[in-house]
Structure 1
Amino acid sequence: MSLKKNILSGYVSQLYVTGVGIMILPLYIKYMGAEAYGLVGFFTMLQAWFGLLDMGLTPTIGRETARYRGGNITALAYRQLYRALSLIFLVVALIGGISLFLVADLIVEQWLQVESLDMGKVVVCVQIMGIIVALRWLCGLCRGVIAGSERLVWLSGFNGLIATMRFIAVFGSMWQFGFTPLVFFVHQLVIALTELVGLWWMGNRLLPSKADSKETIGWSLKPIKPVLRFALTIAFTSSIWVLVTQTDKLILSGILSLAEYGYFTLAVLVASGIMVISGPVSSAIMPRMARLHSEGKHDEMIQVYRNASQLVTVICGSAAITVAFTAEKLLFAWTGDGQLAQESAPILRLYAIGNGFLALAAFPYYLQYALGNLRYHLIGNLVTICLLIPSIIYAAKVYGAIGAGWVWVSLNGMLLLFWVGYVHSKLEPGLHAKWLLIDIAKISLPVFFVLWGISLLGLPTGDRIVEFGVVAALSITALITAVFTSSYAKTVISLRVRNG
C-alpha cells in the first residue's frame, strides 16, 4: 500500500472524525447542558488515563507486525507473540474495567463537583464508563495489527463509520429516550462493542494462517521476552505521555464544577484537533520507517522523516497559528455563544500553540521507534514530567485553567527548542539544523507573519456567518502560505500537475 495513500486516507478519516466530534459539541451542550457535557469531558480524560495500562503492548504489536511483513520474524513467532499479548490485553482489561466499576461511587462523591445532576445516575454513568474504556482499550491490539500491516485505508474508513455512530447516531438514541447522560453512555457502550467486533474481525484476517505452520502455537508468555525491553520502554514513555497530556485535565476535573469543566473541555478539545491531525502521519511513517531501517535503507528512512516533518508543519503548524489568531471568532462562529467564546478563547489560544509545539516535538520519538531504541525519549519524558506535574498543580490551583494553559505552552516550546536538538545530535548528527530551519521555521514563520500582518489591518466582526468567513479566509491563507514555503509540498503538487 502506498505511503501517500495511507497518509491521505488517514487524514481524510481524522479530519472527519475530529470535525464531527468538534462540530457536534455545541449540540451536546445545548440539549444535555454544560454540566452533563462536563461528565462527557471526564469520560474522555478517563479513557486517556486508562492508557497507562497499555504497558507498551499496542506499539509493540504494531512494530512486530511491520517486522513480520518485512520478513524479519517467522509466521510462527509472530502468531505466538500475538497470542501472548492477547492474554495480557484481556487480563488487564478485566482488572481495569472492574476496578473502575467498583470505585465509581467514590469518584462521584469524593472527586467530581456535581451540582444539579442526580448523583445515583451519575454513579451509573461512571460505572458504564469503566466498561467502555476497557472495551475500547482491547481494540488497541487489533489496531496495532492493522496499522502494522499498513492497512490504513480500511482502518480510516472504519474509524469514520464508528465516529458517525458515536457522535451523530447518539442523537437518535437521545431523541428517542431522552437527552440525559445515562442514555448517552448506554449508546456509547453499544458502539464500543461494535467497534471491538469490527477491529477483531479485520485483525484476525491479517494474521498468518495457523494451517501454514506445522508447529503448535501454544499458550505461553515466553514470546514476549525478546521484545520485553522495547515494550517496557514504550510502556514507561506512554505513561509519561499520559501524565504530560492529562495531568492538567485530571486536576481541573476535581477543582472546577462540572459545568465549568465542560467549558474547559470544549476549548481543549478544539485545540486537540491539532494533535489529532498529526496522527495519520505518525501512524503511516512509524511502520514504514521501522521497515526501512530493518532493510538497511537509512537514507530513505531519514527522507521519509523529513518529508513527514514538513507535512505536519504545513497542516498542524498553520492550523495552530490560525487558531491562535482567531480563537474568539472561531468559538463564536461555532457555538453562537458570545460569553462562552470570550471566556474560552484564552484557553483555546494557549492550548492550540502548545499542541502545535508538541506535534513537532514528537518527531524524534518516531525516529527512535524505528531504530528500536527509546533511551533518549525515556530521559526526555522523565525530565518533562518532573517539571510539568508540580508546575501544573501549582498553576491550576492558583490560576485555574489559564495557569495550566501557560504551563502547557511554555514547556512544549522549550522541548521543541532544546530537547529535540539534543536527540537529533545523538541519533543523526547534522540533521537538526536542516530539520529546524528548512522543515519547520521556513514554513511556519511566513504563516505567522502573514496572519500577523493581516490582523494589524483589523479583522471584520459581525454575526456568526461573518466570523466564520473570517476564520475560513485566514485558514486558507495560512495553508496556502505553508504549502508554497514547503519544498516537499511543492514537489508533490508539481508532480500531480505534471501527471494530470
Structure 2
Amino acid sequence: MLKQNIIANYVSQIYVTVISIILLPLYIKYMGSEAYGLVGFFALLQAWFSVLDMGLTPTISREAARYNGGASTPLRFNQLYRALLVIFAGVALIGGTVLFLLSELIATHWLNLTELLVGDVIVAVQIMAVCVALRWITGLYRGVITGFEKLVWLSSFTAAIASLRFIGVFLSMWYFGFTPFVFFMHQLVIALIEVVVLNAKARCFIPKVNGPTNIGWSIKPIKSIFKFSLTIALTASIWVLVTQTDKLILSGILSLDSYSYFTLAVLLANGILVLGGPISVAVMPRMASLYAEGKHSDMIEVYKDSSQLVAVIAGTVSLTLIATARPFLLAWTGDPLLVEEAAPVLQLYAAGNLLLSFSSFAYYLQYAKGNLRYHLIGNVGLVAILIPCVTFAANYFGGVGAGYVWLVMNVFYLFIWVAYIHSKIESGLHVKWLINDCLKVILPVSIFACIFYFANLYFLNDNRLYSLVFVGFVFVFLFVISIISSQKIRLFLSQKVGLKRVK
C-alpha cells in the first residue's frame, strides 16, 4: 500500500505542479503582471493562514494512523474528530472575518499598486479571505483521509480540483473577462466544491461507535494530545515564518509587477518541495504506525529508502533548474526581461529547497515518535537568525539577497542542526544516512550539472527551441545519473526487470 500511495501522490503532485507551472505565462499574458502579483499574494495569504492550524491537521492524521495501528479506539477517535471539527470551524470563521475586514488596509497601505484600481483590489482581497478560510478547513478532512492511508483517492481528487482551479479558470475568464474579480470568484466556487466533497469522503472512513455511547461535542479529548498538538502548532507557525517571511517582506517592498517575477521564480523552486510532499504524506503515517507497533527497524528502513527516493526525484529537478535556469525560463516564457529578473532567484531557491527536502526527514522521525522538541528548538533558532537577515538582504538586494540568505541558512540547518537531532533521537544514524542516502546520490549528479551550466554559458543561444531541447536533455541525463547513483533504486529496478524476465 505504501508504494501505491507514493506513486499515486507523485502522479497527482507532478500533474498539479506541471499544469500550474505551464499556465503561469498565460496568467501574466492575459491578466497582466500586476494582476498576477495578486495571485502570488493570494498564495502568500494561504501560507500565513496555516499558522491558525494550531497543529491540528497533523494531529488528526497521526491519530488516524494510530487507530489503524491498534493504538486507539473508535470512541476516542470520534470524540477527538468532533473536538477538532469545532475548533476548525471556529478558527476558520474568526480568521476569515479578520482578513476580510483588513482588506482595505492591505490594498491601500501594503500592496504597491500602479495600474489596478484600489476598489478592485479590495474586493479581490475580500474574496481571498473567504477562499483561504474554506481551503484551510479542508485540512481536517485531508488529515483524516491521509491518516487512514486512502491516498490514491485523495491524489485523484486533488488532481481533479487542480484542473478546475488552474485550467477551468481560463474558461471563466474567457467568458466573463480576464480580471482579478473573475479569477478569484472562480477560486471561491472551486473551494466550496472542495470542502463539500472532502467532508463527505472523510466521514466514510470515520469508525462507527457501537452501543448507546454518547460521543458528544466536547473539546476535552484534545487535552490528552494537547502537548503534541501545541508543539506542532509552534513549529508550523515558525515554519511559516521561515519559509514565507521573505515573500511577505518583498510583497511590501517591490511593486506588484516586480513581485510577480519574484513569485514566479519562487513558485518554480517550490516545485522541488512539492515533489517531496507525496513521499512525506505517505511516509509519516506509515512511520507513526510502525513505531506504534514496535517495528523500529522497519521504520528506519522506510526512512532511509524514502530519503533516496527524494534524492533521485527532487535532486534531479533541483539540479536541472540550477544548471538551466536561464534557458528554462526562456523556453517557457520567451520573455528576456523575466529571464533576467527571475533566473538568479530561481537558482538560489532551488538549491536551498533541495537541502530543505533532506532536512525535513528529521521532522518525520520526530513526528513518528511523538516528540518534536528538537524540531521546535531548531526552528526557533533558525527564524531568530533568518528574519533580520532576510529583512536586511531584501531591503538592499531584493529577491536575490533573500535567495542567498535562504540558501546559506539551509546549509547550516542540514549539516549542523539535523546532525544534532539525529544524535539525540537516533544515535549512529546521521553520518550513514547523509552519506549513503543523500550525498552518494546528489554529488555525482551535481558534477554533471556544473558541466552543463558552464557549457550553456559558453554556447549561449536565445532560440527557444534550442533552449527547450537543451533543458530536456539535461533533465533526462541527470535523472539517469541519479538512478545509477542510488543503490536502493537500482536494486528495485533490477528486481522488477528480473521478475519480468522470469515471467
Partners of 1:253 and 1:261 within 8 A in 2: yes
SS at match of 1:277: helix
Supply the RMSD in Å over aligned alpha carbons: 0.9
Correspondence for 1:429:
427
Partners of 2:323 and 2:452 within 8 A in 1: no
Partners of 1:459 and 1:470 within 8 A in 2: no
**Is the counterpart of residue 375 in structure 1 residue 373 in structure 2?**
yes
SS at match of 1:296: coil
Correspondence for 1:5:
4
| Superposed displacement of residue 459, structure 1 | 4.7
Which whole-Å CA distance do the structure 2 matches of 1:251 and 1:456 have between them? 33
Correspondence for 1:101:
100
SS at match of 2:71: coil
Which whole-Å CA distance do the structure 2 matches of 1:414 and 1:236 have between them? 21
Q: How does 1:353-432 map to 2 (within 5 A)?
A: 353-432=351-430
Q: How does 1:461-472 map to 2 (within 5 A)?
A: 461-472=461-472
Which whole-Å CA distance do the structure 2 matches of 1:465 and 1:58 have between them? 45
Which whole-Å CA distance do the structure 2 matches of 1:108 and 1:343 have between them? 25
- Which of 438, 441, 458 matches 1:440? 438
Which whole-Å CA distance do the structure 1 matches of 2:250 and 2:181 have between them? 23
Correspondence for 1:304:
302
| Superposed displacement of residue 271, structure 1 | 0.5
Structure 2 counterpart of 1:493, one-letter code: L
Correspondence for 1:250:
248
| Superposed displacement of residue 303, structure 1 | 0.4
Provide, for residues 159-188 of structure 1, a one-character-per-residue CA deviation record: whole Å limited to 9, x for no partner. 000000000000000000000000000000
Range 270-279 or range 334-343, more displaced: 334-343
Which whole-Å CA distance do the structure 1 matches of 2:459 and 2:387 have between them? 38
Range 458-467 or range 434-443, more displaced: 458-467
Structure 2 counterpart of 1:58, one-letter code: T
Correspondence for 1:486:
486
Provide, for residues 42-92 of structure 1, a one-character-per-residue CA deviation record: whole Å limited to 9, x for no partner. 000000000000000000000000001111110000000000000000000
| Superposed displacement of residue 322, structure 1 | 1.2
Structure 1 counterpart of 2:469, one-letter code: G
Which whole-Å CA distance do the structure 1 matches of 2:119 and 2:310 have between them? 45
Correspondence for 1:293:
291
**Is the counterpart of residue 332 in structure 1 residue 330 in structure 2?**
yes
Which whole-Å CA distance do the structure 2 matches of 1:213 and 1:312 have between them? 46
Q: How does 1:139-150 map to 2 (within 5 A)?
A: 139-150=138-149
Provide, for residues 451-481 of structure 1, a one-character-per-residue CA deviation record: whole Å limited to 9, x for no partner. 2234444456242121111111101111111
Partners of 1:45 and 1:249 within 8 A in 2: yes
Which whole-Å CA distance do the structure 1 matches of 2:158 and 2:83 have between them? 26
| Superposed displacement of residue 213, structure 1 | 4.1
Which whole-Å CA distance do the structure 2 matches of 1:269 and 1:401 have between them? 13
| Superposed displacement of residue 450, structure 1 | 1.6
Partners of 1:75 and 1:213 within 8 A in 2: no
* Structure 1 residues 213 and 36: CA distance shift in structure 2, 3 A: farther
The TM-score with structure 1 as length reference comes to: 0.98
**Is the counterpart of residue 122 in structure 1 residue 121 in structure 2?**
yes
Partners of 1:146 and 1:206 within 8 A in 2: yes
SS at match of 2:324: helix
Which whole-Å CA distance do the structure 2 matches of 1:253 and 1:86 have between them? 33
SS at match of 1:499: helix
Correspondence for 2:313:
315
Structure 2 counterpart of 1:399, one-letter code: F
Structure 2 counterpart of 1:41, one-letter code: G
Range 458-467 or range 56-65, more displaced: 458-467
* Structure 1 residues 73 and 108: CA distance shift in structure 2, 3 A: same
Correspondence for 1:16:
15
Range 139-148 or range 332-341, more displaced: 332-341
Partners of 2:324 and 2:453 within 8 A in 1: no
Q: How many residue pairs end up in the alignment?
A: 498
Structure 2 counterpart of 1:203, one-letter code: A
Partners of 1:460 and 1:470 within 8 A in 2: no
| Superposed displacement of residue 198, structure 1 | 1.1
Correspondence for 1:280:
278
Provide, for residues 114-153 of structure 1, a one-character-per-residue CA deviation record: whole Å limited to 9, x for no partner. 1111111110000000000000011000000000000010
Which whole-Å CA distance do the structure 1 matches of 2:454 and 2:248 have between them? 38
Correspondence for 1:271:
269
* Structure 1 residues 491 and 106: CA distance shift in structure 2, 3 A: same
The TM-score with structure 2 as length reference comes to: 0.98
**Is the counterpart of residue 163 in structure 1 residue 171 in structure 2?**
no
Structure 2 counterpart of 1:163, one-letter code: A
Provide, for residues 178-214 of structure 1, a one-character-per-residue CA deviation record: whole Å limited to 9, x for no partner. 000000000000000011111111100010124x243
**Is the counterpart of residue 196 in structure 1 residue 195 in structure 2?**
yes
Q: What is the identity percentage for the equivalent residue pairs of Structure 1 and Structure 2?
A: 55
Which whole-Å CA distance do the structure 1 matches of 2:7 and 2:286 have between them? 15
Structure 2 counterpart of 1:180, one-letter code: T
Unaligned runs of 5+ in 2: none
Which whole-Å CA distance do the structure 1 matches of 2:144 and 2:449 have between them? 42
Which whole-Å CA distance do the structure 2 matches of 1:100 and 1:460 have between them? 47
Partners of 2:323 and 2:449 within 8 A in 1: yes
Range 138-147 or range 341-350, more displaced: 341-350
Which whole-Å CA distance do the structure 1 matches of 2:363 and 2:100 have between them? 34
Correspondence for 2:183:
184
Provide, for residues 270-309 of structure 1, a one-character-per-residue CA deviation record: whole Å limited to 9, x for no partner. 0010001100000000000000000000000000000011
Partners of 1:76 and 1:213 within 8 A in 2: no
| Superposed displacement of residue 495, structure 1 | 1.7
Partners of 2:37 and 2:256 within 8 A in 1: yes
Correspondence for 1:347:
345
Correspondence for 2:230:
232
Provide, for residues 312-369 of structure 1, a one-character-per-residue CA deviation record: whole Å limited to 9, x for no partner. 0111112111111100111111111122112210010001101111111111000000
List 4+ stretches of structure 1 deviating above 6 A: none
Which whole-Å CA distance do the structure 2 matches of 1:459 and 1:239 have between them? 45
Which whole-Å CA distance do the structure 1 matches of 2:441 and 2:2 have between them? 22
SS at match of 1:24: helix
Which whole-Å CA distance do the structure 2 matches of 1:29 and 1:246 have between them? 22
Partners of 2:330 and 2:462 within 8 A in 1: no
| Superposed displacement of residue 499, structure 1 | 2.1
Partners of 2:242 and 2:383 within 8 A in 1: yes
Partners of 1:48 and 1:242 within 8 A in 2: yes
Correspondence for 2:477:
477
Correspondence for 1:452:
450
